[in-house]
Structure 1
Amino acid sequence: MTILNTNSMPIDQTTWSRRDYFYYFTKMMPTGFTLNVDIDVTATKEWLAARDLKFNAAYLYLVSKVIAQTPEFRIGRTEKGQLIRYEVLHPSYSVMHTDDHSISSLWTAYDPDFQQFHRNYLADLATYGDQRTPMPKAPQSGNVYMIGSIPWTHFTSYTPLPFTPLNTYFPIIQAGKYELEAKRWQMPLSVTIHHAVADGYHVSQFLEQVQLAFDHPEVWLAS
């Protein structure tokens, strides 16, 4: 069983290296941006198939594990407005009901052990997956981020459009349909982030680590 990790540390904005950038990109020129790339998922897809494990669970886990190593992606706020950095983020994702194509939003507690996370994921699907409501499993913490998949479309661009003010500065991650190209499985991946907390360099480093994770499932999923 996973103990829900809600650990966080306050950010001292008087010494924070991004203090001026945070002010600029939230007050003077509020800005976010999206990067879209193709990720080679061949090694992970084959590794999972040989073990009869779910690809979506591995996708959620690997992205969450890389986020746990990316401090710029884990910044939120308290109710009093204090900026904080969480230790981990828990993935919130959609499941589709095949009969009417409606969706429900679930979340699964992140666990550093993939096998435990896989069990958590399957348990959440079994408990909440057939409930026809937007959010059958209520969030129990503030450190839940949006990560999704559109497995029917291999897109070249995906940009979410929030219509309410942000309460956190977490990334929004979206994957698309993986397709076979030159004997390699390529999956489109979109990352949207607020410029107040991250620049193109940080997102590029994040994407590089995600590719590394998918290239080496024997290390990232078996450890």
Structure 2
Amino acid sequence: MENPVPIDLDTWPRRQHFEHYRQAVPCTYSMTVELDVTAFARALARSARKTYVAQVWALATVVNRHEEFRMCLTGDGAPAVWPAVHPAFTVFNAQRETFACVWTAYDRDFGSFHDAAAALLAEHGRAVDFFPQGPPPPNAFDVSSLPWASFTGFTLDIRDGWGHLAPIFTLGRYVERDDRVLLPLAVQVHHAAADGFHTARLVNELQALLADPAWVG
């Protein structure tokens, strides 16, 4: 695993914003959107690929494009950026009504990522440990899925989580409206890492990726 690269505070445009939302007014914010996944859902219906794995790969792809969503803190509390981050995602054990958290390395090639992630879901579908692979690496970000319900708002409250700069994503159940298929997505962001502009750009890029799903194969 590569080490995070410290940010040059003397040239960083967001230095004052980082310091304000890290020290003076620590805060996170959440944004819930409905993504149009009509083309994405149709492509997966014609494919043997798994929908959840494809959703996780799409999220990891847009997250890895932007430094603000790959941020962490060094040992002395200074901001740094991971060269790459990897998704940690939930797998539900229906018999126990509990979930486990697994992770796999991000791969730009969807096919390679899909095979690795699908194997993990199959292997740990009945896991009894919260982290069956052991704790996720420090350069992981979290994805959860709630396929049992659609939602228009979702917020996480993380006690003493002011050092957690990685984004957190929650996926909901598809809903059909006006001949479209919509996917609820909640994004939890630390304001020290990213502003509304950055989160809106992330969401818009994710929408574009899902609207042109030739990569599904």
Same fold (TM over 0.5): yes
What is the distance in 2 between the residues matched to 1:16 and 1:10?
11
Alignment coverage as a number of residue pairs: 217
Unaligned runs of at least 5 residues, structure 1 = none
Match of 1:73 among 69, 76, 82: 69
Per-residue CA shift, 1:33-86, capped at 9, x if unaligned? Answer: 111110011111111121111000000000100011122111012334342111
Spell out the pairing of 1:1-223 with structure 2 (5 A cutoff): 6=2, 8-139=4-135, 141-218=137-214, 220-222=215-217
What is the distance in 2 between the residues matched to 1:191 and 1:6?
26
Whether the aligned pair in 1 keeps the contact of 2:86 and 2:105 (CA below 8 Å) is yes
> What is the root-mean-square deviation in Å for CA atoms of aligned residues?
1.6
SS in 1 for 2:46: helix
Q: Which runs of 4+ in 1 moved over 4 A?
A: none
Whether the aligned pair in 2 keeps the contact of 1:67 and 1:88 (CA below 8 Å) is no
SS in 2 for 1:22: helix
Displacement of 1:7 after TM fit? 5.3
TM-score (norm 1): 0.91
Displacement of 1:98 after TM fit? 1.2
Whether the aligned pair in 2 keeps the contact of 1:33 and 1:192 (CA below 8 Å) is yes
What is the distance in 1 between the residues matched to 2:142 and 2:33?
18
**Identity level (%):** 31
TM-score (norm 2): 0.94
Per-residue CA shift, 1:169-188, capped at 9, x if unaligned? Answer: 11111111101111111011
